[in-house]
Amino acid sequence: MREIEVAVVTQNIKEMCIEANHFLSRDMIDCLHSAKETETNSLGRQVLEQLNQNLEIAGKEMIPICQDTGMAVVFVELGQEVRVVGGSLNEAINEGVRQGYREGYLRNSVVNDPLKRINTNDNTPAVIHYEITCSDKITMTLAPKGFGSENMSRLFMLKPSDGYKGVIDAVITAVREAGANACPPLVIGVGIGGTFEKCAYLSKKALTRPVNEMSAISHISQLEEELLAEINKLGIGAGGLGGKYTALKVNIETYPTHIAGLPVAVNIGCHVNRHVTRTL
Amino acid sequence: MILVWKDIQNFTFYLSSWIGDSMSIKITAPFNKELLKSLRAGDQVMISGVVFSARDAAHKRIHNALINGEELPISLKDITIYYMGPSPAGPGRVIGSAGPTTSGRMDSYTPALLDRGMVAMIGKGYRSPKVKESIKKNGAVYFGAVGGAGALLSKTISAAECIAYPDLGAEAIYRLELNDFPAFVIIDANGTDLYGETTCE
């Protein structure tokens, strides 16, 4: 068994919180840049210019890209040949979030109880998803999620007979309702299949796939293309002020499902589609 | 000298940013209603002057105070509210990242504030028909800033002072001084909405 100290996990999560909130991944930067270059709508283009300038300022001056530095979502792939030593893995991750948000001057946006609503003042707890893999490594993806876009996300329990058209209608419905509120240009994470909760999980996971990568399943990558084209016909545009970039990318993840169902989850991501992955 | 394609691109970029700037209307808060009446949905503005930040929790408190007839921590007369909860200021800065939050969450409180003298709001996203009606009735204006451009927008804020509800942290009320804060007129004093009839109830 390979041993990994919890202190190493904490240190990495801390750094990942700060990195994710100040720098987008190369694929997102390129995508936003190319949108700015090719947008012809004048208001939409000005919004895209501001977004590109914003990214530059954020990285150079270490000011978070967005003031909503999100709720920390962490996907952990835990190798079954790893023994975590020195404490609890859960607590190590939360401690990393606590330190990262404090030392990185990130906003504490988490309340302790959804109805009583008292701020926890350290942005914990994180939302942590574990998956066990056959390896001796831990891979962690940290994706701080802002709620302007999260609030506009939807889950639909379709009938199997709804098929492709049903999926397209569901995604378009969610994006149309999200509109300007969700900070377009959007990245759309779609989960299809599984059960109610698995489907929602898939849609969140889909947001962490690079925007220059299509699904490896051919009919799904076709659906990704078709959906992007349909969404961009809506004309909502960057900032909701018009143009052809309502969305930058649609990422779909699928899973086998029940003979009676066709769950579809649409996790709306804003243009600050933040995620950092590290392997220990 | 040979003019290469890249030079032409750069030139048109500078030209368009210059035209963009010259098309912006410079306005200073607190606003008078005559000025607000002259703005049209779709106008680009650069806002300078004093505005106040308030979002969900501060709105709830203000609204409760109004219902209970309690004294408010700030006068609402002629003020502009910016729907924003900043990230903490880093060393040597007046404020952290400071972009707009979704305005629609404040809709249920907004008409009461407009009736008490608030003249303008800055946020992002759609407003309800009731808010539009109240904007028209009061001759107010709703401005939209670019959501997710918090680092860029923070550079236009030269002073920030917490003046009420400090226990709310990022949700407290701050007095902000703006210098050429870029925004768009989304709903003008006639009730015309740049987003059309789209609303998020």
pLDDT digits (tens, 9 = 90+) for A109-168: 999 999 999 999 999 999 999 999 999 999 999 999 999 999 999 999 999 999 999 999
Residues B70-107: pLDDT tens digits? 999 999 999 999 999 999 999 999 999 999 999 999 99
Best to test chain A binding among B124, B146, B180 (most A CBs inside 10 Å): B146
* Any A CB within 8 A of B166 CB: no
- CA atoms of A182 and A184, how far apart (whole Å): 6
Tokens of A46: 């000005």
* Cβ distance of B86 and A107 shorter than 8 Å: yes
Instruction: Divide the 280 residues of chain A into consecutive groups of 10 and give the mean pLDDT of each group.
Output: 97 98 97 97 95 97 98 98 98 98 97 94 98 98 97 98 98 97 97 98 98 98 98 96 96 98 98 97
- CA atoms of A37 and A35, how far apart (whole Å): 5
Q: Which of A184, A203, A183 is nearest to A75 (CA)?
A: A203
CA distance, residue B41 to nearest chain A CA (Å) = 11
pLDDT the model gives residue B47: 98
Best to test chain B binding among A67, A68, A147 (most B CBs inside 10 Å): A67
pLDDT the model gives residue B19: 46
pLDDT the model gives residue B113: 96
Domain ranges of chain A: 2-20+65-145, 148-273
Domain A148-273 has CATH 1.10.287: no
Q: Could you tell me which chain B residue has the CA closest to the CA of A178?
A: B200
- Residues contacting B162, CB < 8 A, separation 6+: B172, B173, B174
Q: Which residues of B touch A145 (CB under 8 A)?
A: none
Position B15 pLDDT exceeds 50: no
Burial of B7 (0-12, 13-18, 19+ CB in 10 A): exposed
CA distance, residue B145 to nearest chain A CA (Å) = 8
- β partners of residue B184: B44, B144
Q: Which of A106, A117, A183 sits opposite B147 (nearest CB)?
A: A183
Q: Which of B93, B96, B126 sits opposite A67 (nearest CB)?
A: B96
Taking residue A225's Cβ as centre, other Cβ atoms within 10 Å add up to 13
Q: Could you tell me which chain B residue has the CA closest to the CA of A64?
A: B97
Name the band, by pLDDT with cuts 50, 70 and 90, for residue B17.
Answer: very low
* CATH number (domain holding residue B16): 3.20.130.10
In single-letter form, the type of residue at position B118 comes to M
Tokens of B122: 């800055």
Coil, helix or strand at residue A69: coil
- CA atoms of B189 and B12, how far apart (whole Å): 34
Taking residue B182's Cβ as centre, other Cβ atoms within 10 Å add up to 21
Coil, helix or strand at residue A271: coil
Q: What does the DSSP 8-state code read for residue B119? A: -
User: What is the separation, in whole angstroms, between the first and last Cα of chain A?
Assistant: 14
CA distance, residue B182 to nearest chain A CA (Å) = 9
Q: Which residues of A touch B106 (CB under 8 A)?
A: none
* Any B CB within 8 A of A110 CB: no
Position B2 pLDDT exceeds 60: no
* Cβ distance of B200 and A63 shorter than 8 Å: no
* Any A CB within 8 A of B42 CB: yes
* Any B CB within 8 A of A240 CB: yes
Please, where are the H alpha helices in chain B? 5-23, 33-38, 56-67, 110-115, 129-138, 150-154
- CA atoms of A16 and A83, how far apart (whole Å): 22
Q: Which of A65, A107, A179 sits opposite B151 (nearest CB)?
A: A65
Q: Could you tell me which chain A residue has the CA closest to the CA of B147?
A: A183
Instruction: Report which of residues A175 and B196 the model is more confident about.
Output: A175
Interface predicted TM-score (ipTM) of this complex, two decimals? 0.93
CA distance, residue A24 to nearest chain B CA (Å) = 12
**Residue A188 · residue A269 · CB < 8 Å:** yes
Cβ–Cβ pairs < 8 A, chains A and B:
137
B 125-164 residues inside an 8 A Cβ radius of A: 125-126, 144, 146-155
Classify each residue of A160-183 as buried b or exposed e, where b means 16 or more C-beta atoms within 10 Å of its C-beta: eeeeeebbbebbbebbebbbbbbb
- Return the H-helix or E-strand segment holding A66: none
Best to test chain B binding among A29, A48, A63 (most B CBs inside 10 Å): A63
| C-alpha distances in Å from residue A175, one per residue of A40, A88, A162, A168, A169 | 21, 39, 19, 11, 10
- CA atoms of B101 and B83, how far apart (whole Å): 6
* Any B CB within 8 A of A212 CB: no
* Range of the structural domain that residue B154 is part of: 5-197
Position of tokens 């008292």?
A118
Name the band, by pLDDT with cuts 50, 70 and 90, for residue B23.
Answer: confident
* Any A CB within 8 A of B48 CB: no
Q: Could you tell me which chain B residue has the CA closest to the CA of A69?
A: B87
Q: What percent of chain A has pLDDT over 90?
A: 99
- CA atoms of B129 and B109, how far apart (whole Å): 13
Tokens of B90: 């880093």
- CA atoms of B176 and B163, how far apart (whole Å): 10
Please, where are the H alpha helices in B24-162? 33-38, 56-67, 110-115, 129-138, 150-154
String of DSSP letters for A190-244: EEEEE-HHHHHHHHHHHTTS-TT---SSHHHHHHHHHHHHHHHTS---GGGS-SS
pLDDT the model gives residue B197: 58
Q: Torsion angle, CA of A41/A51/B159/A61, rounded to 10 degrees?
A: -150
pLDDT the model gives residue B22: 53
Q: Which of A55, A67, A108 sits opposite B99 (nearest CB)?
A: A67
- CA atoms of B132 and B111, how far apart (whole Å): 9
Residues B128-167: pLDDT tens digits? 999 999 999 999 999 999 999 999 999 999 999 999 999 9
Three-state secondary structure of A159-201? CHHHHHHHHHHHHHHHHHHHHHHHCCCEEEEEEEEECHHHHHH
* Cβ distance of A65 and B155 shorter than 8 Å: no
Q: Between A26-38 and A42-61, two packed helices, what is the crossing angle to 10 degrees?
A: 150
Q: Which of A49, A151, A271 sits opposite B148 (nearest CB)?
A: A271
Tokens of A238: 């960057």
* Cβ distance of B126 and A181 shorter than 8 Å: yes
Q: Which residues of A touch B147 (CB under 8 A)?
A: 66, 148, 183, 239, 270
* Cβ distance of A67 and B195 shorter than 8 Å: no
Number of structural domains in chain B: 1
